[in-house]
Amino acid sequence: MILDILERSLRERSPLIPVEALLNTCEGSRMPDVYPALLTPEIARRVAEICPTAAFTTREAGDQLELRLSYGECIGCGRCAEVGHGAIVAAQTFPWTGVSKQRLVRRWNVNEKAEITVISPEPEQAREEIYALLGRALNIRQLDPGSCNGCEAEITALTNPFYDLERFGIHFVASPKHADMLLVTGPVTRNMAEAVKLTYEAVPAPKLVVAVGACGCSGGVFAGSHAVVGPVDAVIPVDAYIPGCPPTPAMLVNGILQALQRHHHER
């Protein structure tokens, strides 16, 4: 019987998703993207009004209206796309993962119908570069300081045969003392604050900290709760952010790789 299963596994094509197909996709996350050509002041104001976590905000500057989108706050609820009249849609690609907090924010001039985000250029991701970079193994210690377990479910998926994070030489370890990277989900609760600090201290330097999910980036739905201290960077220093509620496994893979790359270039 077990032989039947093994035989079928051998006969069937491996479900492994090729690296090229993983890069930048965000299907299933409902993260929004903006088509500036279709933006109107009405749409911009309406979207800012209904966004439940204030990821979309507007700002009047003289007679110009600015629309601002912070992915760190976005929970992918899809309400914006319902009132966006095509100007706001679910994103097809998503490079805003594993980046600095600053890079999670995008801005548009609504009157001019143009994106005005100022960004320092970040290197293009290429397959060769990723492989060259990951000459050594990366050990990740996942830490949950108060997540709803949505992010955990998706991080667990990284080890399944579709994503197989081990192919990049990346794997999850049991102790922070064995880790190069802390992958931290969720808002930090008051009850977990001390454990988070102790875990951070237990990771040997040099270490990378990546905040995961809307809660990890900004506190998300739980921002402002009396039982929550804040997002991850309220308690320990964070190097890179992976937004999403929860981020899909593809966004997590991209984020982890991108965080590594940034670190590599900065050193």
Partner 1 sequence: MKDNGNPEDLEPQQGSGDAVFSVPLAHSGAPARLVTLFGSLTQSRQVVVRYVFDLGDPDYRIIERRIDGPLASITPLMPAATWYERELHDQYGVNLTGHPDLRPLLFHENWSEEIHPMLKTPSEIPWVERDYPFLKVQGQGVCEVAVGPVHAGIIEPGHFRFSVMGDLVLHLELRHFYTHKGTEKLFEGSTADSGVIIAESVSGDNCFAHAVAYCQAVENAGAVSAPLRAAAIRLIGLELERLIAHIGDVGFLANDVGFVVAHALASSIKESLLRASARCFGTRYWRGVACPGGVRIDLDAKQGAMLSEAVARAAREFATLAHVILETPSVQSRFETAGVLYENFAEDLAVVGPVARASGVDLDVRRDHPYGRYRDLQLEVPTIHYGDVLARARIRIQEAAVSARLICETLGALPPGPTRLAVPFDGQRQGHSAVESPRGELFYWVEIEDGRLRRCHVKSPSFQNWPAMPLAVAGNIIADFPLINKSFNLSYSGCDR
Q: Kindly list the residues in this chain that would bind partner 1 in the complex (CB under 8 A).
A: 1-2, 4-6, 9, 15, 27-28, 30, 52-53, 75-79, 82, 90, 142-157, 159-162, 172, 174-176, 186-187, 189-195, 199, 215, 220-222, 225-228, 245-246, 248
Q: Residue 188 corresponds to which tokens in the numbers above?
A: 């930090």
The C-alpha atoms of residue 172 and residue 182 are separated, in whole angstroms, by 10
Find, among 49, 39, 38, 58, the residue nearest to 110 by Cα. Answer: 39
Residue 186 vs 255, nearer CB to partner 1: 186
| 94/222 with CB nearer partner 1 | 222
User: Smallest distance from the beta carbon of 61 to partner 1, in angstroms?
Assistant: 29
Residue found by looking up tokens 């210690």 in the block:
141
Name the residue nearer to partner 1 (CB basis): 155 or 257.
Answer: 155
Closest distance to partner 1 from the beta carbon of 64 (Å) = 30
Q: Which is nearer to partner 1, 104 or 245 (CB)?
A: 245
Which residue's CB is nearer to partner 1, number 78 or number 204?
78
- CB nearer to partner 1: give 27 or 42: 27
By DSSP bridging, strand 64-70 and strand 105-109 are antiparallel
β-strand partners of 111: none
| Nearer to partner 1 among residue 151 and residue 260 (C-beta) | 151
- Which position has the token pair 């998300």? 220
| CB 123 to partner 1: min, Å | 29
- At position 75, the amino acid (one-letter code) is I
Measured between alpha carbons, how far is 29 from 84 in angstroms, rounded to an integer? 17
The CA distance from 254 to 61, in Å, is 35
- What whole-number distance in Å separates Cα of residue 206 and Cα of residue 254? 21
Going by the DSSP 8-state scheme, the letter that residue 160 receives in this structure is S
Residue 121: phi and psi, rounded to 5, are -65, 135
Rounded-to-integer distance, Cα 44 and Cα 157, Å: 36
- Asked if 19 contacts 256 with a C-beta cutoff of 8 angstroms, the reply is no
Min dist. Cβ of residue 247 to partner 1 (A): 11
